Structure 1
Amino acid sequence: MEELSLKKVIREDSCNEHTVHMNIDLTGDTENEEPFISVIIPAFNEERRLPPTLLDTIDFLDDFGQDYEVIVVDDGSSDETSTVVQKFEKIRRQVRLIRLPKNYGKGHAVRTGALNAHGRLILFTDADGSTPIAEVKRLIAAIDSGADVAIGSRAMQSEETEVQALLFRKIIGRIFNRIVNIILLPKIADTQCGFKLFSQKAASFLFLHQTSDGFSFDIELLFLARKSNIVVKEVPINWQNIPGSKVNLVTDSVKMFIDIFRFAWLHRGIQPKSFQEMADSNDPSTDENSPSSLNETLTS
């Protein structure tokens, strides 16, 4: 089996280079029409933070033992984000780049990736790697137990998980989430964690109805899910703050607050039967190749 190392993926600055090493299999299967999981990574000016996240993701998914694809959506970056991904593309058939012509926003980037994904499960995760990719096992278990959507939560913690967040961001986040709870989404402790897993059917329905291009898209997806009786399960995860956040706590919070009321009005006509009719027309039990349990992947 032919292998080589990927070195010097991207410059960290004009003088230094960030060097990484990994074994690359150039003889793997061609792109699977329906891999087990699609991982969507939205990226805007992420030339420095993206390489280690991609490396960790590929390394984990290789060991996971299931077909996969990684879709990086470059949201109009002005740096070398696309160049980074293109280097991975050349040696990894599972990696795909979607390059948007301008900066539309995180919500638009995630939606674009999800609607171009082929996986039976669709995960979106942040480019900074703040949530370790291995945490997806917890979300898969939630899907296997009956959820249509499993969302990582920094607010719901267990003895097995740890959250390392800046105090002021934690306080603002809790205040904002409380407002969301009162107005739109009761009983969701953390709407904004950038680590969410969808069944293919739930993703197809939710992202087709999504309208938000900005950071409030998570709220819209969860509100749509609630209106449609799509089962959402919140799961404690490990998370750490990574410097370089693109979120402006003042201006983006104001925009998101306005969006809360917009979503309530815009989606007032969504009915539970809309999703159920789609699910019934695509019953997975008719697929002879589908495993009886998604969680089989964790024990195989």
Structure 2
Amino acid sequence: MKLSVVIPAHNEEGCLYSTVSHLVSTLEAEGIRHEVVIINDNSTDQTPGICQTLADEFKTVRHVDNQPPNGFGFAVRRGLVEFRGDAVAIMMADASDDPKDLVKAYWKLQEGFDCVFGSRFNKNAVVVDYPWHKLVINRWANWFVDKLFRLHYNDVTNAFKVYRREVIEGIQPILSHHFNLTVELPLKAIVRGFSYAVIPMNWYNRKTGISKLKIKEMGSRYLFIVLYVWLEKHLSRGDYHRSKYLVPTKKKLNA
């Protein structure tokens, strides 16, 4: 199985090189066949040049310049069109995600799951320097989604997730323009019948650059996507469920 990693990058000159080089070295050490697709999301700093440097240095790295308008959702959606692997992971450019967790998610996917979701709040997870105000909002928002969908998954808003290619094909169309995409993808995958596993993961607050998440701007967008998928679950009569379009594998007949 070839694993693609999509990394959206908007003005990440201070951390992009170290993030990608560490990721590639970790995957190579584990013998995981992979590609890293950096989506330069209309950066105005040195990010484009760093993307080219990484592509020149590492044969498994390539980059794509996204067209305006910029936004996390737009960048990830471009990556989900561009990736060539059998499965795709979404990771952040700011080194907040641990490459070792990607290795764990890859092997968990090999057990037969369609998706693997990371949780920063499960036992054995490590969270470093999470801003307290964002933590309060995060815990409330995830409690709300958990109760609404009865998921028993406590970190839906986390970006770190891995999907098989057929999941990405099965959750179209993707609507989100911004960080609400982190909620749209897993909720659609679950509602449409794809299997998933949850693993504890480590998270580290960025050391350089500025967070692109604007909480005041995103609240209504998150709520829109959550309610949109909730309505699909309860009113669509299963029209978008995987059972409606995936052809069952035929069993071999005994000779």
Q: Please classify the TM superposition score into its range, dividing by the shorter chain length.
A: 0.7 to 0.9
Q: Which runs of 4+ in 1 moved over 6 A?
A: none
Are 1:130 and 2:89 counterparts? no
Structure 2: segments with no counterpart, 5+ residues: none
Give the structure 1 partner of residue 178 of structure 2: 214
Aligned-partner residue type, residue 172 of structure 1:
I
- Structure 1 CA distance for aligned equivalents of residues 59 and 223 of structure 2: 40
Given the superposition, is the C-alpha separation of residues 264 and 85 from structure 1 closer, same or farther in structure 2, using an over 3 Å criterion?
same
How far apart are residue 279 of structure 1 and its match?
Answer: 4.3
Are 1:198 and 2:184 counterparts? no
- Structure 1 CA distance for aligned equivalents of residues 48 and 178 of structure 2: 21
Q: State whether residues 191 and 241 of structure 2, in contact with CA within 8 Å, keep that contact through their aligned partners in structure 1.
A: no
Q: State whether residues 122 and 200 of structure 1, in contact with CA within 8 Å, keep that contact through their aligned partners in structure 2.
A: yes
Q: State whether residues 61 and 68 of structure 1, in contact with CA within 8 Å, keep that contact through their aligned partners in structure 2.
A: yes
Q: State whether residues 193 and 241 of structure 2, in contact with CA within 8 Å, keep that contact through their aligned partners in structure 1.
A: no
Q: State whether residues 76 and 100 of structure 1, in contact with CA within 8 Å, keep that contact through their aligned partners in structure 2.
A: yes
Aligned-partner residue type, residue 238 of structure 1:
N
Given the superposition, is the C-alpha separation of residues 167 and 49 from structure 1 closer, same or farther in structure 2, using an over 3 Å criterion?
same
What does 1:88-237 correspond to in 2, within 5 Å?
88-158=54-124, 161-164=125-128, 165-184=130-149, 186-206=151-171, 208-237=172-201
Q: State whether residues 10 and 43 of structure 2, in contact with CA within 8 Å, keep that contact through their aligned partners in structure 1.
A: yes
How far apart are residue 231 of structure 1 and its match?
Answer: 0.8
Report Cα offsets for 1:56-87 as digits up to 9, x if no partner. 11111221223211100112222221111011
Give the structure 1 partner of residue 247 of structure 2: 280
Are 1:77 and 2:39 counterparts? no
How far apart are residue 184 of structure 1 and its match?
Answer: 4.1
Range with greater deviation from structure 2 (269-278 or 145-154): 269-278
TM norm structure 1: 0.75
Structure 1: segments with no counterpart, 5+ residues: 1-34, 287-300
| Larger RCO (CA under 8 A, 6+ residues apart) | 2
How far apart are residue 261 of structure 1 and its match?
Answer: 2.2
Given the superposition, is the C-alpha separation of residues 265 and 193 from structure 1 closer, same or farther in structure 2, using an over 3 Å criterion?
same
Q: State whether residues 44 and 75 of structure 1, in contact with CA within 8 Å, keep that contact through their aligned partners in structure 2.
A: yes
How far apart are residue 272 of structure 1 and its match?
Answer: 7.1
Q: State whether residues 44 and 103 of structure 1, in contact with CA within 8 Å, keep that contact through their aligned partners in structure 2.
A: no
Q: State whether residues 77 and 103 of structure 1, in contact with CA within 8 Å, keep that contact through their aligned partners in structure 2.
A: no
How far apart are residue 48 of structure 1 and its match?
Answer: 1.2
How far apart are residue 224 of structure 1 and its match?
Answer: 1.1
Q: State whether residues 41 and 73 of structure 1, in contact with CA within 8 Å, keep that contact through their aligned partners in structure 2.
A: yes
Aligned-partner residue type, residue 258 of structure 1:
F
- Structure with larger Rg: 1
- Structure 2 CA distance for aligned equivalents of residues 220 and 135 of structure 1: 22
Q: State whether residues 11 and 47 of structure 2, in contact with CA within 8 Å, keep that contact through their aligned partners in structure 1.
A: yes
Report percent identity of matched pairs: 22
How far apart are residue 185 of structure 1 and its match?
Answer: 5.6
TM norm structure 2: 0.87
